[in-house]
Amino acid sequence: MTSSSKSPEIKYFNRVTGKNETEKVYGDSFIKLLYCSALGKKFGGAFTNKYFSKAYGAFQDLPSSHRKVKPFIEKFNIPIEDYEPGSRPAMDPRDSYRSFNEFFIRKFKRGKRSFVTDTARMPAFAEARYVGFDAVDEKSRYPVKGSYLLAKDLIGNDQIAKIFEGGPLLIARLCPVDYHRYHYPDNGKVIEHYAIPGAYDSVNPLALQYKNQIFIKNERYVSILQTENFGRIAYIEVGAICVGKIVQSHRWNKPFIRGEEKGYFLFGGSTVIVLGEKGLWKPSHDISENTKNGIETYLHLGQEVGTKF
C-alpha cells in the first residue's frame, strides 16, 4: 500500500446507539503515512519514541494550543455540554480551556455517567472501543490478523503473569476524541505496580495491522489490583504516539472504590488492558461476539463490560 492509497474504514458497534458506525480518525493522513508508506517504514522511528511524543505533548500545554479546541469540537461533534468547562473565563464553554491538554483531560459533569452497581457485573473502566476474550491463549489475537496476546508479554513479568494464564482479557482503545480518564472497575487495593519502558507507536487498528506487536512493545504501566468481586486484575495503561504522559492520579497506598478515577492520559489516543484470573469472570456477550467478528464495541464509561461466572 502506498501513501496515496485509501485507508480502510474502521467499523465498530456502538452499544449506546445500537448501530454499526464508522470511526472518524484524528490524524488519519499521518497514521497512513507512518505505517502504510515506504517513507514511514524507513523513518517512522523518529516519531514513535518518547522524546517526540513528550515534546508534542508539551506543545499541547502551550496557551496558543487553545485555538485548536473549538475546531476540534466542531469537527468531531463532541457534546461539550456533557463536560466540566475549563479554567479560562468564557461565555462559550468551547473557549474555556487554557490549552488543548486541559480540554483533552476534561471531566464529565456530575451525573453524566454512572457505574453499574450489581456486584456480579463489571463496569466499563474507560469510555472506549472494546474487544474481549473469555480466555487468553495462543488463539487470542488483536486485531483478528494481528499478533498473539499472551499474559506474560503484556505484563512483562513471568511470575505475575502465571496468575492470569488462561484468564479473560479486555482491551479498551481510546481515540483522541474520547474522554481520557480511566477508572477502577471495583472496590479493592493495589498490591503491585511498575512501569515498562518501550516505544510510542499508534494504537490505531490500521497501525496494528502493519505493526502487530505494539501492545507488547509500547511503554506500559502495570498495576495488579486485588478486587472485592473479580479476584486479582492486571490493569495496564499503554502509551501511544503523541501521548505526552500517563498520569496516575490515585495514591497507590489508598484503597479504591468502584468508579473512582485511577488516572488519565495527556494528549493522544491510547489503550487500557485488563486481564483477570481464569474462571472468575468473562467479557460481556456482545463484546465477545463482536470480537469474534473482528469488530470493536463502543461503550460509555460505567456500562457493563463483564460478568462473573
Residue 168 belongs to what H/E stretch?
Answer: none
Q: What is the mean pLDDT of each run of 10 residues along the chain (309 residues)?
A: 52 95 71 58 55 66 93 95 96 96 96 97 97 79 55 90 94 91 98 83 53 62 97 91 76 96 85 95 97 93 97
pLDDT digit string, tens, across residues 114-159: 999 999 999 999 999 999 999 986 655 554 444 557 888 889 899 9
pLDDT the model gives residue 1: 35
pLDDT the model gives residue 218: 74
pTM of the model: 0.84
* Beta-carbon-side half-sphere exposure of residue 203 (alpha carbons within 13 Å): 30
- Return the C-alpha cell found at 106: 476534561
pLDDT the model gives residue 133: 92
pLDDT the model gives residue 209: 54
Domain range summary for the chain, segments of one domain joined by +: 121-308
Contact by Cβ (8 Å): 264, 180? yes
Contact by Cβ (8 Å): 283, 309? no
pLDDT the model gives residue 4: 41
Paired sense of beta strands 169-174 and 147-148, if any:
unpaired
Strands (E), the chain: 11-14, 19-22, 121-123, 128-133, 141-142, 147-148, 169-174, 181-183, 188-196, 220-227, 232-238, 246-248, 261-265, 270-276, 281-283, 296-299, 304-308
